[in-house]
Amino acid sequence: MIEIRRLSFRYKPELEPVLKDISISFQPGESVAIIGANGSGKTSLLRCINGLYQPFEGEVIVDGLRVADQEAIHEIRTRVGMVFQNPDDQIVSAQVEREIAFGLENIGIATDEMHIRVEQILSRLDLIRYRQHSPHLLSGGERQRLAIAGTLAMRPRYLLMDEPTALLDPGSRQSLMVLLDELHADGEITPIIVTQNPGEAASFDRVIVLHRGDVILDGQPRVIFSEVLRLIQIGLAPPFSALVAHQAHLPPPLPLHPIELQKGLTFSGKTSPPSQPAPTLPSGECIIQASHLRHVYNPGLPGKITALNDLSLEVSQGSCLALIGPGGSGKSTFAQHLNGLLLATKGVLSVGGVNIDSDTDFRALRRQVGLIFQFPEAQLFAETVLEDVSFGPKNLGFDNIDSRVDRALTEVGLDPQAFLDRSPFALSGGEKRRVAIAGVLSMRPSILVMDEPTAGLDPAGALEISDLLKRLNEEGTTLVLVTHDMDLVARLSHRVIALDNGRIGLDGTPCEIFQDPEKLSRLNLGLPEAVRVAFALRKSGWPIPMDAITGESVINAVQMLLPK
């Protein structure tokens, strides 16, 4: 049992507390999801539980052991495993299988048993083919799976996971949730996860809602997610099925899954609502052209990885291209070619009519192409947010630096007065991502390349970024989005390309791509929540238009088909 008694935590004595007088407990055998807006204290709470942070007031007790007792810390961390928000924060070895063995060695597991556990977890998390690879050559999602594997191999009694699925493709996300369900059902672990995905949270026994350091809701998912208005007020959202049910005025408890929603709604028998005009692909000139592009990591070595394999594509000026695909399919590699961080092994890539090679004027290229990394920490470096966001425009010789910084921070939902003097490294994961985005927006590039722009953001923050990107695109900025967020793809993109082993696996409009769930499934991909609901309703006779692929369009269609 984990007991938290009147816990308060602050990073410095002079700062406001991040956690305020929290008293909760976790029973062995239950599964718990913790949700809350960015900066609400979720990560800090997890780190207090396993002793990475020591509270200013109160105490944490794990199976009778006090976290404040330094002599008990080793035993506590044997019982309480943790997966960090950024896998790079905990990967220490130069080889995948050694990374998994590292934790086992530290807790004294016998060699024979260690080999068995490493083999089992490599198989369960689909990492066998990478066993001899260096972790830094894996994709972000693959590194996340590796961090999870290393922790699960130690078989902790309690498993703390901070946004474990944020970087995973939909298929890997589902596989991980199934694995956690199996381990939990077998009594092997008590999972306690932080997540911004309400659908994931709904699958747990219990949901805890944090808001500004306080526990404001704690109960069963069906009860918590029936508090739709209260959740929206604090920047959160229920599962999409519950939101549709709320809009349809169904009584609580609200359905959490499409099949439950389908059974709860009454169809009026009306004809199909009119279809929406299909978004037209901007007819601008070709601004990005890849021809037979190939990129190989570690060429000539046993561990070489072919990330891009004869890739050819074009992007029109002013369009929004979504790049989707399973982890390791080459998405981030292609993104890093666009501003010259990586150069092609073979083939030709041109941006704005200029071929990118070793003779390229990279300063001029990076004025034109802004890149936001998958891990925002990779591009945050200054002592304050002001210095970080202003660095790019200063370096490129722009004027009006202060106004550029204030505008960029405001656009990503951060109050300049509250954040300018703060250290970017003391921010929550979602706040770091916003600062990283602001640092690129302050330079106003004509092409914006974003790698997982909404990962780790709360629902309100994700919507803010989505609205911002939509406005930038309407103003003429060309967008290239690398993402596993299918709702973002449905809302913003004109065209979707799914990569598969460095090649194009699917290519079409969002409406075309999302009408074939079987093809997506074969690529470890899935549908937006709104499309899943639309499919479920169509099966029971609801004439939901096939072009209804966003949350707004599906809710509008349902409301038009309800009895008056």
For the chain, the first-to-last Cα distance in angstroms comes to: 51
pLDDT bracket for residue 14 (50, 70, 90): confident
Higher local confidence (pLDDT), 201 or 183: 201
Domain-embedded: residue 521: no
* 503 plus 546 within the same structural domain: no
* 556 plus 449 within the same structural domain: no
* 10 plus 51 within the same structural domain: yes
State the CATH number of the domain containing residue 176.
3.40.50.300
pLDDT of residue 431: 87
Q: Which of 219, 234, 249 is the last residue of a domain?
A: 234
Judged against a pLDDT cut of 70, whether residue 277 lies above it is answered with: no
pLDDT tens digits, one per residue of 54-73: 999 999 999 999 999 999 99
164 prior amide bond cis, ω within 30: no
Would you give the distance in Å from CA 416 to the centre of its chain? 25
Domain-embedded: residue 513: no
Residue 15: which residues within 8 A CB-CB, separation 6 or more? none
Q: Are 230 and 525 in contact (CB under 8 A)?
A: no
Nearest CA to 436 out of 473, 465, 476, 403 is that of 465
- Give all strands (DSSP E) within 32-121, no chain letters: 32-36, 57-62, 65-66, 80-83
Domain-embedded: residue 514: no
* 123 plus 267 within the same structural domain: no
Structure token digits, residue 218: 């704690």
* 264 plus 210 within the same structural domain: no
* 253 plus 392 within the same structural domain: no
Domain-embedded: residue 515: no
Domain-embedded: residue 7: yes
* 71 plus 190 within the same structural domain: yes
CA distance 16 to 33: 25
- Give all strands (DSSP E) within 43-184, no chain letters: 57-62, 65-66, 80-83, 158-162
pLDDT of residue 316: 94
What does the longest C-alpha to C-alpha distance in the chain come to?
Answer: 70
pLDDT of residue 275: 67
Q: Are 518 and 505 in contact (CB under 8 A)?
A: no
CA distance 222 to 254: 7
Q: What is the DSSP string of 402-466?
A: HHHHHHHHHHTT--HHHHTTS-GGGS-HHHHHHHHHHHHHTT--SEEEEESTTTT--HHHHHHHH
Give CA separation, 272 vs 244, 393, 452, 496, 532, in Å.
Answer: 18, 51, 35, 27, 18
* 221 plus 245 within the same structural domain: no
pLDDT of residue 532: 96
CA distance 358 to 335: 17
Judged against a pLDDT cut of 90, whether residue 481 lies above it is answered with: yes
Q: Are 397 and 456 in contact (CB under 8 A)?
A: no
- Residue 415's CB is within 10 A of a number of other CB atoms, namely 10
Whether the predicted model's global pTM rises above the 0.85 cut: yes
Domain-embedded: residue 399: yes
* 248 plus 361 within the same structural domain: no
pLDDT of residue 373: 86
Residue 182: which residues within 8 A CB-CB, separation 6 or more? none
Mean pLDDT across 346-367: 91
Mean pLDDT across 450-469: 90
Would you give the distance in Å from CA 495 to the centre of its chain? 21
Structure token digits, residue 244: 């549709």
Q: Would you mind telling me the total number of residues written for the chain in this entry?
A: 564
136-154 in b/e burial notation, b at 16+ Cβ within 10 A?
ebbbbbbbbbbbbbbbbbb
pLDDT bracket for residue 279 (50, 70, 90): low
CA distance 36 to 342: 37
pLDDT tens digits, one per residue of 98-150: 999 999 998 899 999 999 999 999 998 889 989 999 998 888 889 989 999 99
Angle at 292 between CA 285 and CA 339, to 5 degrees: 60
Three-state DSSP class for 134?
A: coil
* 503 plus 418 within the same structural domain: yes
Would you give the distance in Å from CA 363 to the centre of its chain? 30
Judged against a pLDDT cut of 90, whether residue 166 lies above it is answered with: no
Q: Are 465 and 455 in contact (CB under 8 A)?
A: no
Q: Which helix (H) or strand (E) holds 307?
A: strand 305-316
* 446 plus 492 within the same structural domain: yes
pLDDT of residue 150: 94
Domain-embedded: residue 517: no
Total number of domains in the chain: 3
The amino acid sitting at 58 is G
Q: Under the phi-then-psi rule, with left for phi > 0, alpha for psi from -120 to 50, and beta for the rest, what region is 41?
A: left
Angle at 183 between CA 324 and CA 173, to 5 degrees: 5
Q: What is the DSSP string of 48-64?
A: HHTTSS--SEEEEEETT
Angle at 411 between CA 408 and CA 413, to 5 degrees: 115
CA distance 396 to 409: 19
Q: Which residue range forms the structural domain that includes residue 28?
A: 2-234
Mean pLDDT across 357-382: 87
pLDDT of residue 451: 92
Angle between helices 429-441 and 385-395 (to 10 degrees): 20
Residue 272: which residues within 8 A CB-CB, separation 6 or more? 543, 544, 545
Q: Are 423 and 383 in contact (CB under 8 A)?
A: yes
Look over the chain and give the mean of its residue pLDDT values, rounded to a whole number: 92
* 435 plus 301 within the same structural domain: yes
